[in-house]
Amino acid sequence: MSDISEVLDILATQIAGHVYPNGTGQPSVTGQTVKVYPGWPTSSSLDKDLQNDVVNVSIFPIGPERNTTRYAPKSQVMSVVAATLTLTAAGNTIAVGGAMPAPFTPHNMAVLIDGKAFIYPVQATDSLTSIATGLAALIAQTWPGTTSSGAVITLQAGATVQAARVGTTGTTSTEWERQSQRVQITVWAPDPTTRTQVGKAIKAGFAQISFLTMPDGFGARCRSTGQMPTLSDLLEKAKAYRRDLFYDIEYATTVEQQVATVVTVETDYQTPTGQTIFDIDT
Amino acid sequence: MDAATLQQKIYGGYGKAALRIGPVYNLYHPTSAANPISPATWLGTLNASFNAQDMTYSKPNLYGKPLWYALLDGTQTQVGDYLVNDDKTFFIAAQQDTLPILAVECNRTLNIFRPQQQVDAGVNPYGGTIDANQTELMTAWPASVLQGTKGEKGDAPLPGDVRLPWWAILLPAYPGVNLLTADIITDDINRRYIVSSAELSDLGWRLTCMQAQT
B87-119 tens-digit pLDDT? 899 999 999 999 999 999 999 999 999 998 888
Quick one: average pLDDT of B144-169? 88
A122-148 tens-digit pLDDT? 999 999 999 999 999 999 999 998 999
Interacting residues of B119 by C-beta distance below 8 A, sequence separation 6+: none
In A114-196, DSSP assigns E strands to 116-121, 147-149, 152-154, 161-167, 169-189
Task: Tell me the sheet residues that pair with B126.
Answer: none
B146 vs B170: CA distance, rounded Å = 9
A93 vs A80: CA distance, rounded Å = 28
A202 vs A191: CA distance, rounded Å = 17
Contact call for B128 and A190, based on CB within 8 A: no
Residue pairs spanning A and B at CB distance below 8 A: 64
Of B126, B156, B194, the CB nearest to A192: B126
- Side chain identity at B16, as an amino acid letter? K
Residue B197, min C-alpha distance to chain A (Å): 15
The string of DSSP codes covering B73-113 is -GGG--TT-EEE-SS-EEEEEE--TTSPEEEEE--EEEEEE
Among positive and negative, which fits the CA dihedral A38, A43, A49, A55?
positive
Q: State chain B's mean pLDDT as an integer.
A: 93
Of A188, A234, A236, the CB nearest to B129: A236
Contact call for B214 and A238, based on CB within 8 A: yes
* Strand-pair category, B108-114 with B135-152: antiparallel
User: What residues in B contact A47, CB-CB < 8 Å?
Assistant: 190, 192, 213-214
Task: Tell me the sheet residues that pair with B101.
Answer: B70
Quick one: average pLDDT of A226-248? 90
Helices (H), A117-223: 128-140, 192-207
Kindly indicate the confidence band of residue A225, based on its pLDDT and cuts at 50, 70 and 90: very high
A82 vs A248: CA distance, rounded Å = 38
Closest chain A residue to B192 measured between Cα atoms? A238
User: What residues in B contact A46, CB-CB < 8 Å?
Assistant: 158, 214
Check pLDDT > 80 for residue B149.
no
Check pLDDT > 90 for residue A167.
yes
Contact call for B156 and A51, based on CB within 8 A: no
Kindly indicate the confidence band of residue B129, based on its pLDDT and cuts at 50, 70 and 90: confident
Among positive and negative, which fits the CA dihedral B10, B102, B86, B63?
positive
Task: Tell me the sheet residues that pair with B193.
Answer: B185, B211
Of A40, A233, A239, the CB nearest to B192: A239
B68 vs B18: CA distance, rounded Å = 14
Are B116 and B85 in contact by the 8 Å Cβ rule? The answer is no
Which candidate in A32, A35, A43, A45 is best for mutational testing of the B interface (most B CBs within 10 A)?
Answer: A43
Quick one: average pLDDT of A219-239? 89
Q: Report the candidate in B81, B33, B37, B28 with the shortest Cα–Cα distance to residue B177.
A: B33
Q: State chain A's mean pLDDT as an integer.
A: 93
Check pLDDT > 80 for residue A228.
no
A194 vs B131: CA distance, rounded Å = 13
Q: Report the candidate in B156, B132, B157, B146 with the shortest Cα–Cα distance to residue B187.
A: B146
Residue A45 to residues A29, A42, A85, A165, B6, Cα–Cα distance (Å) = 22, 6, 57, 61, 57
User: Which pLDDT score is estimated for A159?
Assistant: 84
User: What residues in A contact B130, CB-CB < 8 Å?
Assistant: 190-192, 239
Contact call for B192 and A234, based on CB within 8 A: no
User: Which pLDDT score is estimated for B199?
Assistant: 97
A171-193 tens-digit pLDDT? 999 999 999 999 999 999 999 99
User: What residues in A contact B212, CB-CB < 8 Å?
Assistant: 237-239
A26 Rama class: left (phi>0) / alpha (psi -120 to 50) / beta: beta
* Strand-pair category, A169-189 with A241-260: antiparallel
User: What residues in A contact B132, CB-CB < 8 Å?
Assistant: 191
User: Which pLDDT score is estimated for A55?
Assistant: 96
Q: Report the candidate in B141, B17, B1 with the shortest Cα–Cα distance to residue B74.
A: B17
Check pLDDT > 90 for residue B155.
no
Interacting residues of A109 by C-beta distance below 8 A, sequence separation 6+: A85, A87, A96, A119, A120, A121, A122, A131, A135, A165, A166
Of B130, B155, B213, the CB nearest to A47: B213
Are A183 and A7 in contact by the 8 Å Cβ rule? The answer is yes
B162-201 tens-digit pLDDT? 888 999 999 999 999 999 999 999 999 999 999 999 999 9
Indicate the helix (H) or strand (E) that contains A4. Answer: helix A4-19
A81-120 tens-digit pLDDT? 999 999 999 988 999 999 999 999 999 999 999 889 999 9
Check pLDDT > 70 for residue B10.
yes
A253-265 tens-digit pLDDT? 999 999 999 999 9
Q: Report the candidate in A231, A234, A244, A240 with the shortest Cα–Cα distance to residue A54.
A: A240
User: What residues in B contact A239, CB-CB < 8 Å?
Assistant: 129-131, 192, 212
Residue with the bigger pLDDT between B157 and A149: it is A149
Contact call for B154 and A190, based on CB within 8 A: no
User: Which pLDDT score is estimated for B179?
Assistant: 96
Kindly indicate the confidence band of residue B54, based on its pLDDT and cuts at 50, 70 and 90: confident
Contact call for B212 and A190, based on CB within 8 A: no
Give chain A's contact residues with B (Cβ, < 8 Å). Answer: 40-43, 46-48, 50-51, 188, 190-192, 232-242
Check pLDDT > 70 for residue A1.
no
Closest chain B residue to A241 measured between Cα atoms? B128
Interacting residues of A173 by C-beta distance below 8 A, sequence separation 6+: A75, A76, A78, A216, A217, A218, A254, A255, A256, A257
pLDDT over 90 percentage in chain B = 75
Q: Report the candidate in A218, A232, A101, A87 with the shortest Cα–Cα distance to residue A169.
A: A101
For residues A56, A57, A63, A69, the Cα torsion angle rounded to the nearest 10 degrees is -160
Contact call for A47 and B192, based on CB within 8 A: yes
Of A40, A191, A241, the CB nearest to B158: A40
Closest chain B residue to A234 measured between Cα atoms? B155
Contact call for B213 and A40, based on CB within 8 A: no
Which candidate in A42, A186, A239, A242 is best for mutational testing of the B interface (most B CBs within 10 A)?
Answer: A239
